[in-house]
Amino acid sequence: MKTPKDNLLFLFFLIALSSCTTKQPLVDNEGRPLIIRSGTIDVDLVETTPVVFKNKVYRYEYVRKGYWGNNTGDSYFRFVDTETGKPTPSFAKGFHLGSAFVHNEIVYVTGVDIWDGEQIHFFASKDLVDWDHWLALELPGFGIFNTSMTRDEEGFVLMFEIGKPDERSGERFTANFAKSKDLKKWEVLSPDHNYAKDRYTAPHCLRYLDGYYYNFYLEAHDGYEMRVVRSKDLIQWEASPLNPVLKASDEDKRIANPNLSEKLLEEVSNAININNSDIDFCEFNGKLVINYSWGNQRGEEFLAEGYYEGTLQQFLLGWFPEE
């Protein structure tokens, strides 16, 4: 018969066993958080965002006019259930680029009305079918491209990519920032809130954790590769000592979608790959679902999927190990 002391010792044993078997995030040979590349899932898709909505993973997609499966004659947005491959009804006809964000069981999508334009629009839905729409920012003289949103202790932070005006962008393309408490009224931060005007640093994915903003961006280096920097104030930035996050690899050409046609498979096989760009990700069941694009950065573009066996916190902190 077990005594209370025996039960207590058994409890301590279980706690010790749990601490010994806690899953540690994997790293590559150089200590980087290990991104496992599953392979290509589509062709002619670039700007995508995986999100968790109602305990399912959906992939936001910006479907360009020239996408192989687009017969509408115009661009549009949609979500795809990653488990079934089934798309939601399309919305935002004629809009471009964009990214998705989920907050309080509402899905928000940001996008632009034209490439290199002056407006940022918001779309919001509780069911991925019916969408509200409003103009969030109108910035005369700006040229706006990709957007990404995150949340900090004070509200929401929007990162938007600009190519003009010259005094704010410097070398195209550059991250600028805006803040809002209600997603309706936005304040554009001063020009010193940027990354970075001295070279090509096209921004794509913004995250926030424990006082730091993390900007995953595209740098023109040895082709084009994803890198990450972080900042406490969106002014002074610290580069990861483990950069790059992703660079072109033969593994990008693996086929992760068995439904691709022979024609599309041939395009993948013959493609030139000098680019890994447009990374975005979400955490689901203790690991990160990752989307990114690869190709030649001149119009031949492919959508790939990967994953990281760890949490969002582990992934972000993994790029900035304590010395």
Separation between Cα atoms, residue 192 and residue 15, nearest integer Å? 49
Strand bridging mode 56-63 / 96-103: unpaired
Mean pLDDT, to the nearest integer, of 148-176?
A: 97
pLDDT (tens digit, 9 = 90+) per residue, 14-28? 434 344 444 677 899
Distance of CA 163 to the CA centre of its chain: 20
DSSP E strand stretches across 210-286 = 212-220, 224-231, 238-239, 275-284
Q: How far is CA 214 from each of CA 220, 236, 270, 319, rounded to the nearest angstrom? A: 19, 12, 35, 10
If one counts every other C-beta atom within 10 angstroms of the C-beta of residue 88, the result is 18
Separation between Cα atoms, residue 275 and residue 229, nearest integer Å? 19
Say which DSSP state 27 is in.
B
pTM as predicted: 0.92
Separation between Cα atoms, residue 44 and residue 47, nearest integer Å? 10
Measured in degrees and rounded to the nearest 5, phi and psi for residue 150 equal: -140, 180
For residue 126, give the amino acid letter: K
Mean pLDDT, to the nearest integer, of 68-89?
A: 97
- Name which of 212, 215, 222 is nearest 196 in CA terms: 215
pLDDT of residue 119: 98
Mean pLDDT, to the nearest integer, of 153-165?
A: 97
Cβ(203)–Cβ(254) below 8 Å = no
Separation between Cα atoms, residue 298 and residue 311, nearest integer Å? 34
Report the percentage of the chain scoring pLDDT > 90. Answer: 89
Contacts of 161 (CB under 8 A, 6+ apart): 144, 145, 146, 147, 173, 174, 175, 176, 202, 203, 204
- Name which of 42, 47, 24 is nearest 34 in CA terms: 24
pLDDT band at residue 3, thresholds of 50, 70 and 90? low
CA gyration radius, the chain: 21
Q: What domains appear along the chain, each with residue ranges and CATH number?
A: 23-318 (2.115.10.20)
Say which DSSP state 117 is in.
B
pLDDT (tens digit, 9 = 90+) per residue, 289-301? 999 999 998 889 9
pLDDT (tens digit, 9 = 90+) per residue, 205-216? 999 999 999 999
What kind and span of H or E run contains 314? helix 312-318
pLDDT at 147 over 80: yes
Residue for token digits 């661009």? 75
